[in-house]
Amino acid sequence: MTALRARAAALAAAFAALMGLGCAAAPFEAGCSSEAGSRTVAPLMWRAADAAHGGVVYLLGSIHFDVESPQPYPEGIESAFASADELVVEVDVVHAAESPRADLGARVRLEPPTQLADVLSPQTLERLEQFLAERDLPFTFVEGLKPWYIAQLLVLMELREAGYDAAHGVDRQFIERAGDKPIVELETTSAQFDMLDRLPPRIQEALLADALNRSGEFDRASDRLIEAWRRGDERALEQLVFVPIGNDPDFEGFYESVFFRRNAAMAARLAELARDGKTRFVVLGAGHMLGPRGIPSMLCERGFEVRRVSGGARATESD
């Protein structure tokens, strides 16, 4: 995703869900009606109301891993969850815990007789061999795997080493607390894997190379992202999540695939769901909520009355 100094955690989040190039942008562009709402120092959450049909969606920006469970949440978040008729997530990571492994299949493997040496530059291949040797891992650990999946494995391995665990992810916590509340998935694990598998070879190698080059910075980058999430610091999150790798224009396609195209599809689905007048509590990766092409802004453009009800300083405010 980006240089891991700024975005190691964002890379892992996008892969695990899985989180405008360049400078951070305002959450709402001019012409899209919205209210600022309260600014409590808490994780970011928006309330989007469909005035025509009465449906309400609370949009909580999540992180998919942490060193500990982030509960208890502020009262505004807890009351929104309690009032919701349904919980909406990207993928139900609890009740479908076995399906991702089964869905991977051939997606993660190079088609024989292709080998890593055929798809990676000598420099990246050498750095990968060095990385594995430093950790006493055999090359067979990654042999035959596609670069995007190797990048995922290395990032998650480093995060676990630093003490981060998906068991403490925000989405998982709310799914486990849902009880009798119906859970709606906006995506499938198969679709997410297909999205990553379709990334161009050059982008896949760039992700892997960057993960290798920045592996020693995972803990510090993750700490920064999680601290910004806890503060509800919209501006800091945008800077961490949307910093391009080496100003490479090819990554515009990456952002389109992993963020913006998915944001549009999820916003459309939420708008459709809201037509029944129910209240829904929506937990999606924080990266999907940010900027003019984030889901709150997209719902605003669809005519929803959107206001932020939890979070710290807005992205447009000065220190």
Assign residue 232 a region: left if phi > 0, alpha if psi is -120 to 50, beta otherwise?
left
- Could you give the CA distance from residue 143 to residue 115 in angstroms, rounded to a whole number? 8
Can you read off the two tokens belonging to residue 239?
């800077």
Mean per-residue pLDDT, 37-42:
68
Q: Which segment, 134-138, 237-241, 279-283, is predicted with the most confidence on average? A: 279-283
pLDDT tens column, 82-125: 999 999 999 998 886 445 555 577 789 999 999 999 999 999 99
Can you read off the two tokens belonging to residue 151?
């990048």
Mean per-residue pLDDT, 18-43:
47
CA contacts within 13 A on the Cβ side of 19: 29
> What is residue 29's predicted lDDT score, i.e. its pLDDT?
39
Percentage of the chain exceeding pLDDT 90: 48
Residue 77 has pLDDT above 60, yes or no: yes
Residue 175 has pLDDT above 80, yes or no: yes
Residue 24 has pLDDT above 90, yes or no: no
| CA proximity to 7, closest of 220, 290, 203 | 220
Mean per-residue pLDDT, 14-20:
38
| pTM score, whole prediction | 0.84
> What is residue 278's predicted lDDT score, i.e. its pLDDT?
98
Q: How far are the Cα atoms of 14, 21, 181, 209, 222 from residue 237, in angstroms, in the given order?
A: 14, 14, 30, 23, 12
| CA proximity to 77, closest of 87, 90, 64, 67 | 87
> What is residue 68's predicted lDDT score, i.e. its pLDDT?
76
Mean per-residue pLDDT, 185-190:
90
Q: Are strands 45-49 and 34-35 parallel, antiparallel or unpaired?
A: unpaired
> What is residue 309's predicted lDDT score, i.e. its pLDDT?
93
Assign residue 231 a region: left if phi > 0, alpha if psi is -120 to 50, beta otherwise?
alpha
Mean per-residue pLDDT, 165-180:
90
> What is residue 19's predicted lDDT score, i.e. its pLDDT?
32
Mean per-residue pLDDT, 12-23:
35
- Could you give the CA distance from residue 185 to residue 6 in angstroms, rounded to a whole number? 29
Assign residue 24 a region: left if phi > 0, alpha if psi is -120 to 50, beta otherwise?
beta
Peptide bond preceding 72 in cis form (omega within 30 of 0): yes
Of 23-27, 187-191, 232-236, 270-274, the one with minimum mean pLDDT is 23-27
The 10 Å Cβ neighbour count of residue 25 is 19
pLDDT band at 37 (very low <50, low <70, confident <90, very high): low
pLDDT tens column, 258-314: 899 999 999 999 999 999 999 999 999 999 999 999 999 999 999 999 999 998 855
How long a stretch of residues is the chain? 319
Q: What is the mean pLDDT of the chain?
A: 81
